[in-house]
Amino acid sequence: MSQYQIKIKEPCHENWDTMSAHEQGKFCGICTKEVVDFTSMTDHEVISYFTNYKGSLCGRFAEDQLEKKDQRYFDLPDYTKKFIRALAMIFIMFSSTESYGQPIGEPAIMGEISISQTLEFRMQGMVFGPTGSGIENARMQFYSKGILLKDIVTDENGKYDVSFPPKNYQLTISKKGFQDFHTSIKVDKANTFGDFELKKGVSKTEKPAKPVIMGRMRVMGKPAIHKMD
């Protein structure tokens, strides 16, 4: 299960409220940098932002956004993740030994951002035949610059489920009784490669059957029968 975590190694203690407004957040006059406000973004929006961004960056996050998450959490609907966060917040409020008569707000953390692991997108789709039915156990081989990265097969319904970091790959699909399929794919935030159709034919990985010859036979001469001792 792939995991990711956004980290701020050295939190910044400058006053967010005194910073001047900027396009994606605010501008820090001390560091002369833009501070992107991620606190209102969903997990998918945050991941998409870093997938398309290169270089160093300062950001502002809620504490729960900096917690390590695995693919199962990432795939939950946004309203489910908000519900989980709300339950955690209620627990913190009721377990606190001090009460000030006001709800405790989620503290925001600012600073330069680092990503602890290459992010992966989960890709799903189907391999199907000329009739539209899914093809079971179709072999899918994923390559990057000629190097085989993953070798999987489709399930009983012809579906596949695989995760990759965002970039371009080459895909080969093979199955006995079908022609080999070759294509280039791009992994991005769309979360799907799509569906692939295989055409009837002989796969290059399948050895062709030896030809069978039929016809009328003619025997020339009288056959000799030898008795074995």
User: For residue range 151-166, what is the model confidence (pLDDT) as tens digits?
Assistant: 999 999 999 988 888 7
Are 152 and 93 contained in the same domain? no
**Reported confidence tier of residue 44, pLDDT bands at 50, 70, 90:** confident
Using the structure block, give the residue that is written with the tokens 């994606």.
24
Would residue 23 count as lying in a domain?
yes
The last residue of one of the domains, among 93, 115, 137, is 115
Q: Are 118 and 110 in contact (CB under 8 A)?
A: no
Q: Tell me how far apart the alpha carbons of residues 123 and 16 are, in angstroms, rounded to a whole number.
A: 38
- Greatest mean pLDDT among 46-55, 90-99, 103-112 lies in 46-55
Rounded CA separation 73/76 (Å): 5
Note whether 7 and 106 are same-domain residues.
yes
Domain that holds residue 97: 3-115
Are residue 39 and residue 125 in the same domain, yes or no?
no
* Tokens standing for residue 61: 């996050």
- How does pLDDT run across 174-211, given as a tens digit for each residue? 999 999 999 998 887 665 578 999 999 876 665 555 56
Per-residue pLDDT at 110: 84
**187 Cβ partners below 8 Å, 6+ apart?**
121, 123, 164, 165, 166, 167, 168, 169, 193
CB of 152 within 8 A of CB of 137? no
Please count the structural domains in the chain.
2
Contact 183, 161 (CB under 8 A): no
Same domain, 46 and 133: no
